[in-house]
Chain A
Amino acid sequence: EAASLARSGGAGGLAQWVLVELQGEVEPRQSGGLAGSLLGDLHYTREGIPVLIVGHHILYGKVVQLEKPFAVLVKQGAGEPGAAGLHARYTVTALIKTKLLFKTRPKPIITNVPKKV
């Protein structure tokens, strides 16, 4: 069986997404899973360096133009039986040509010790 990577988005052209590459794993802070929970704030310096504040850490990264872009494949018919592995149907939803690579060790944010009143 052929699984077709049909293009979604019709005449509008493919969306361009961005990849953020982080060290380590992503885990939910609360139980109940990740959906809806915040990751952090992404800023850029005036020189274009991405700065990500995640929890109590600051991460500095760099913008990388990917030599080999990625296509984002979204599985169709998730609930259907037999839609396992590569033999499910996929749609190409977006292209990724840019990634924000955060490889430096996160700097911990040391909050001020509250002054004694």
Chain B
Amino acid sequence: AAMRSRAEVDATLQTAKLNAAELLPAVHCLSFGPQAGAGECCLLQLEPGLCAELEAGRSLVIRGEKDEQAVLCSKDKTYDMKIADTSNMLLFIPGCKTPEQLNADQASCNIIHSQIAGFSNNYWELRRCRPKLKKLRKLLMEDPYEGPDSRKDQSLTFPKYTTEDLLSLIQASEEEILHQLQVIDACKIEGYWRTLEFDYEMKLLNHVTQLIDSESWSLSKVPLRTCLEELGSLEPIEMIEHILLSYGRKYIDDAGEVYFEMHEDKICRAIARMLLQNAVKFNLSEFQEVWQQSVPEGMTTRLDQLQGLALVDKSSRPQTIFLLKVEDLPEDNQERFNSLFSIREKWTEVDITPYIQDLCAEKQTVGALLTKYARSSMQNGVKVYNSRRPI
């Protein structure tokens, strides 16, 4: 279509009985661009912070396999994506000026021919969500590292994952993925992220705790150098350093020597796991005795070290304890609650909290989750929670 002229614009104004004197001199003649109807453009509504990220030159990524619901990731956050419909038509127009811009630029052209780039009656809406990290653990546990002496069949090739691989497979931001790798004590071996097979991890830990004992070191001052010297003939030094980093806090003293302050709680917890994984359940008092005897000299075991790892059955006589790892439970909220209620019909808040804490969204409390997914009642003077629906 031919471009409109000033004369045509003025004629239209006259027909419309609009007074040109009451209008700004510049007019936009809007027409549909060549690709406007092609549907190649769509709108994404930006949550706070994302606009600034884009303006700063950073990218956003949409992640998800064909069978997954897509998420959008910034450098450090993850968002669910949902289509929002509007009853109105949204036209997106490049080069269209606002009254402020026109007033500021007095020399602006009298007629601005603007082409509508596209239009839509819907847009993508974002909602901040928990990163979907369960898959990360699952992928790395396909082939846990069993040490250099592993008798695992080397001819079987399992997939191994670099950081780039994980970024394309996991529905989470890069920072969330890297943080989770640290939380699960993963390490990079030959460029691939690996988790340690639990028995191998305990073997490494045992080397360290035995050395601490034989050297009579303080648990808060374990020297890296000596560990590597003494244990380097038994295990790769990278693995020795890795186990120290996993179970201790690294620091450097004034002389520049590297030491570790061992995490008592984490070590006790790992040893409990090792004991508990060998049977369905244990007599609680027997377990507590064996557990205390199994931990390094100077460490004290406490049941609260086992939150999210083991559960005590106070209703059985004698009381028992069994392994229940939160990371083995479903990631979806409803599925998690279904799973917990099928393990135990009624839960106190104290008992259930470690198993639902990780479900809390940004500003959500455990109480809010319980209100939503459970029903409360009183039992023997204690508030308990059970399922809202029959399991």
Chain A residues in the interface with B (C-beta under 8 A): 1-7, 13-15, 17-26, 33-46, 48, 50-53, 58, 63, 68-75, 78, 86-87, 90, 92-100, 109, 111
Contacts and interface: CB of A to CB of B under 8 A. Distances in A.
A36 to B, nearest CB: 5
Contact of B167 (A2, A5, A21, A97): A2
B54 A44 contact: no
Contacts of A94: 92, 94
Contacts of A23: 87-89
Shortest beta-carbon contacts, A-B, top 4: A48-B99, A18-B96, A42-B28, A39-B30
Given A35-B34, A71-B46, A109-B16, A19 B54 contact: no
Interface in B1-39: 1, 4, 9, 12-13, 15-18, 22-24, 26-38
A27 B307 CA distance: 62
Contacts, number: 210
Contact of A41 (B9, B37, B62): B9
Interface of B is mostly: mixed
B1 A36 contact: yes
Contact of B24 (A40, A43, A99): A43
14 contacts: A3-B63, A4-B59, A6-B59, A13-B55, A17-B94, A20-B93, A21-B91, A24-B89, A58-B16, A71-B60, A73-B124, A87-B64, A87-B66, A109-B15
A21 B1 contact: no
B44 interface: yes
Contacts of A42: 27-30, 96, 114
A64 to B, nearest CB: 10
Interface of B: 1, 4, 9, 12-13, 15-18, 22-24, 26-38, 40-48, 50-51, 54-55, 57-66, 70, 72, 81, 86-100, 102, 114, 116-119, 121, 123-124, 167-168
Given A13-B55, A19-B91, A63 B31 contact: no
A73 B44 contact: yes
Nearest to B116: A39
B91 A63 contact: no
B30 A22 contact: no
Given A4-B61, A63-B98, A94-B94, A37 B88 contact: no
A75 B70 CA distance: 16
A63 B103 CA distance: 14
Given A17-B96, A73-B44, A38 B29 contact: yes
A56 to B, nearest CB: 9
A40 B30 contact: yes
Nearest to A33: B37
Contacts of B16: 53, 58, 109
Given A35-B37, A68-B47, A73-B43, A7 B30 contact: no
Contact of B31 (A20, A39, A93, A99): A39
B38 A39 contact: no
A75 B66 CA distance: 18
Contacts of B35: 35
Contacts of A86: 62, 64, 70, 81
B224 to A, nearest CB: 38
A39 B32 contact: yes
A63 B123 CA distance: 20
